[in-house]
Amino acid sequence: MLTKFVPDQFVPSVYDINLEDLAARGFQGVITDLDNTLVEWDRPEATPALMEWFEQVKKAGLKLTIVSNNNESRVRAFSEPHGITFIHSARKPSRRAFRRACAEMDTKTTETVVVGDQLLTDILGGNRGGYYTILVKPVTDSDNIFTKVNRSVERRVLKRLKKRGYNIEAGGKTNDK
């Protein structure tokens, strides 16, 4: 069960994801978390660098959907100005929102990548659904109250994984699922 928390890949940020490589490997869609994955949880809009990343995703021929546990007004206000499909109140790690995102992008599970900053929601949900998962460092050390609880559990999970030889934060042994 512990291996369900192990991502296929770990990178410092979304900007370090090799989008062209993903496309060359047959991936067609990217499901990404919003808060602390793309921007700080309390930042209402995309940064110029992130807007450029959205363009790079398109250039690589990949479809993009934001899947967030946050409420509709937060996710809509962020996504709509950029024409990005989104799913709010996703209840991750439930697989339902991931399946819905694939249906909306018209991609298969094996053609879709899940990107997020949390093991307990993004990575667990993506792994449970059979997706290729990429863990990124949170863009800020600050979290909302609900995420703070998850982070404390996440630290314990990371400690147990490290004891078993996984060093996720350093990017080591993550693809040995």
Which CATH number does the domain housing residue 102 bear? 3.40.50.1000
Q: At residue 130, what are phi and psi to the nearest 5 degrees?
A: 85, 20
Q: Is residue 153 situated within a structural domain? A: yes
Q: pLDDT confidence of 169, banded at 50, 70, 90?
A: low
pLDDT at 51 over 90: yes
Inside any domain, residue 24: yes
27, two tokens: 């991936």
Q: Is 175 part of a structural domain of the chain?
A: no
- Half-sphere exposure (CA, 13 Å, Cβ side) for 34? 29
Q: What is the pLDDT of residue 81?
A: 95
Count Cβ atoms within 10 A of the Cβ of residue 97 and give its class: 0-12 exposed, 13-18 middle, 19 or more buried: buried
Query: Is 150's pLDDT higher than 50?
Result: yes
Per-residue confidence at 170, pLDDT binned at 50, 70, 90? very low
Higher pLDDT, 40 or 32: 32
- What is the Cα–Cα distance from 1 to 24, expressed in whole angstroms? 31
Nearest-angstrom CA–CA distance, 31 and 123: 11
pLDDT for residue 172 is more than 80: no
Least confident range from 1-5, 25-29, 44-48, 61-65: namely 1-5
User: Would 176 be classed as within a structural domain?
Assistant: no
Strand partners, 172: 167
The residue-averaged pLDDT of 115-144 equals 89
Q: What's the chain's average pLDDT? A: 89
Q: Within a domain: residue 177?
A: no
Give the residue with greater pLDDT, 163 vs 116.
Answer: 116
The answer on pLDDT for 175 being more than 60 is no
Let me know if residue 45 belongs to a domain: yes
Q: How many structural domains does the chain have? A: 1
Q: Which domain holds residue 20?
A: 2-170
Instruction: Quote the percentage of the chain above a pLDDT of 70.
Output: 89
The confidence band for 55, taking pLDDT boundaries of 50, 70 and 90, is very high
- pLDDT of residue 128 exceeding 60, the answer is yes
